[in-house]
A and B are shown apart, each in its own frame.
Chain A
Amino acid sequence: MPVPFEGLIPYTIMGAFFALAGHGVGFIRYWDNGWKNDRYDLDAFDQKMMKRDFNLTGTVRGQTSESVAPEHFKTIDEKTQRYYTPYRDQFFMLRERMYKGYVTGNWEFQ
């Protein structure tokens, strides 16, 4: 008995979803990187350099032949603070919030 074609349809659909995740997302990243492939297996130094290149050129893999950095490069100060709380209109890290008791309920207003 030959393999009926309809038995292979679900496998084709699964393959299509893998293709979406691989080629589709890969293409978005390729475009987002200024038509360059994604880098992987990066260490802290690579990350730092990519952040610098982003600040200089606008894309993490950007390169420039300008010998002078743009004006805004002097004053860029990027902060990684994720949690916003309406209390005093401040940003907190989760650890700070827990320490101050906003999560556990021991409110400390000072």
Chain B
Amino acid sequence: MLNFVELLLMFVSVLLAVAFLTVAERKTLGYMQRRVGPNAVGYYGMLMAMADAAKLLLKEMVMPTHADKLMLIMSPMMSLMSAFLCWSFMPFAPGTTMSDHSYGLMFTLAMSSVGVFGTLLAGWSANSKYSLLGSMRSTAQLISYELMLTTMVLLCMLLTGTMNLSKYVELQESMWMGVPLFPMSMMWFMGCVAECARPPFDNVEAESELVSGHMTEYSSSMFVLFFLSEYTSMLFLSTLTSMLFFGGGTGMMLGMKANMFAFTYMWVRATLPRVRYDKLMHMCWVMFLPLLFGLAMFLPSLMYFMDAMVYTYPTM
């Protein structure tokens, strides 16, 4: 029974934090553009997320005529499930996870990969060429940047020698991994922004130039699922950034670090113009990936070399 209470507490916390992330984004963007943002619903607009949810859920669900209806309904669920399942190994305090496992980080990688299917199938099932083209575009982007993020996670695992995130945080008590891996942590953050399809890499649904990508045929509650999954994965990647490179933390401290990165997503959105799609792909495949594969050869060699030094020169 107690287990269920704990799970519920963690899950509801994540859900509500995600809900308030949407308010945070709208308020932050508002102030960055010298306007007030939402300020009418609740105390200074704090209940805007609830009002948005109520509006979207009460709207009529429009189903395209020749769409594959089952797949159309299933794909946002797949996205959302994968985004939430990523949280299951996230330690909010040492050992305080939904599931503590030695291969937690590997499971997280696997779950985040499943989310791509949601995007892909959404475009396929909607029976609309705009959706299909949009989903092709976003799938290519997501797969490319996932490759990059996975390589970086593998390198972090290599340095710490553990896939358990609580252990990983414990090992950073002496030094944050972001110190020796500072260039990689910057690359990681750029990869995260692209993986969430956030501006300046939001070619998935570039409102001013294209229709809304794979979500073209989605409305009301099915759209809510996609919307939620986007913000869930955004907060998840912010938290993972603070875990992997900036020492993680317990409860409030972890929240502060995660908030800082979540804020940076919005800051970037308010500041930078959209990057062209071919440049986005170029950055991943031609710049970051070769660099990362180079690092993947360099770091083990360096570690081997430093280990060997100890045996060669025992006084060092």
Contact = CB atoms under 8 A, between A and B. Distances in A.
A22 B129 CA distance: 45
Given A26-B96, A39-B95, A21 B13 contact: yes
Interface string B215-236: 0000000000000000000010
A72 to B, nearest CB: 22
Contacts of B21: 10, 14
A42 interface: yes
B102 A43 contact: yes
A23 B255 contact: no
A38 B255 CA distance: 20
Interface string A13-28: 1111111111111101
Decide if the interface of chain A is mainly helix, strand, loop or mixed.
Answer: helix
A22 B23 CA distance: 22
Contact of B95 (A1, A4, A10, A37): A37
A24 B13 CA distance: 11
Interface residues of A, number: 32
A68 interface: no
B9 A22 contact: no
Nearest to B91: A40
Contacts of B212: none
B31 interface: yes
B271 interface: no
Contact of B28 (A7, A16, A19): A7
Nearest to A42: B100
Contacts of B30: 7
Interface of B: 2, 5-6, 9-10, 13-14, 16-17, 20-21, 23-24, 27-28, 30-31, 34, 37, 39, 43-46, 91-97, 100, 102, 162, 164, 166-167, 235, 250-252, 254-256, 258-259, 262-263
In the complex, the 4 A-B pairs of residues with the closest C-beta atoms, listed nearest first? A22-B251, A18-B255, A38-B95, A40-B95
12 contacts: A6-B27, A7-B28, A11-B262, A14-B259, A15-B256, A19-B255, A21-B10, A22-B252, A24-B251, A25-B93, A28-B5, A38-B96
